[in-house]
Amino acid sequence: MTATLLIAIVIFFSCNKKDDNHPEPQTGYFAKSMTIKWDGKHYMKINFRYDGNNRLISQTFDDLIFTYEYNDQGQLSVMRFDDYEWYSIDYENNVIVKIVKYDMGTDRVLDESPVTFSNGIYSINGEEICKVDNQDQLLELYRVGVKFSYGEGAGVHQHLALSPARYLVLEGEFVGYDLALSHKELVSWLEMDTSLTFESQRNEQGLITSIQLTSVYDEEYQWDIEYEERELVGL
């Protein structure tokens, strides 16, 4: 056996061993944008941006811009609106304990609200705001009287870390429009004693690309979703 052939064999097996020890990174799909139609006409477009840890760092609802910052534990700690500090969130043992609201023109503190958590229910100043499960999936939004239910299939945001702080701060419509309330597929919500059913369409990769909903007022809504592929971290 020649020296050249021997070297080639050694390199070949060394490369294969290296590949075995360093498998290809796992990837997943994250919502890049949603276009919402109301009775067949454009209603709203939502864009999503993420950081290197796949945390949601900004959203635009048409021309409204929300940005998010995180503490060292990866918890949503600051929410900004149009680049002005809007809310800050304090935690103890992974549970929200206080929300501070700021004047967006002067950064002056407008209100400091204690938050309590019991049996999955978050309350602010004693008022029940929302209920979540042990995965922080939103089950009920008391302010607007809506209950959510999910199927077993993967949802639009199956890899996104859920942040209960968003449910405590954002108005009900923004919580529902971006669908960022569950890892599972949203199948219905109960509103005004009426169950609204979502019908989802998936592509060959199993991603939800379109959702249809008829409201209690017979209004038709449709979500069209586009995705981007990202490397999953922490696996």
DSSP line for 141-171: ETTTTEEEEEEEEE-TTTTSPP-HHHHHHS-
The per-residue b/e assignment along 17-26, b for 16 or more CB within 10 angstroms, e otherwise, is: eeeeeeeeee
**Domain count for the chain:** 1
- For residue 206, is it left (φ>0), alpha (ψ between -120 and 50) or beta? left
Average pLDDT, the chain: 87
The CATH number of the domain holding residue 58 is 2.40.160
**With pLDDT > 70 as the criterion, what percentage of the chain qualifies?**
89
φ, ψ of residue 192 to 5 degrees: the values are: 55, 45
Residue 37 has, within 13 A of its CA and on its CB side, a CA count of: 11
Average pLDDT over residues 157-184: 88
Domain region containing 223: 3-231
Beta strands in 41-172 (DSSP E): 41-50, 56-61, 64-70, 76-81, 84-92, 95-102, 109-118, 121-124, 127-132, 138-141, 146-154
pLDDT classification of 19: cutoffs 50, 70, 90: low
Task: Judge contact between 207 and 28, C-beta under 8 A.
Answer: no
Q: Is the pLDDT of residue 2 over 60?
A: no
Specify the range with the lowest mean pLDDT, choosing from 27-36, 66-75, 210-219.
210-219
User: What's the pLDDT at 172?
Assistant: 66
Q: Which helix (H) or strand (E) holds 229?
A: strand 220-231
pLDDT in tens, 98-150: 999 999 888 899 999 999 999 999 999 989 999 999 999 999 999 888 999 99
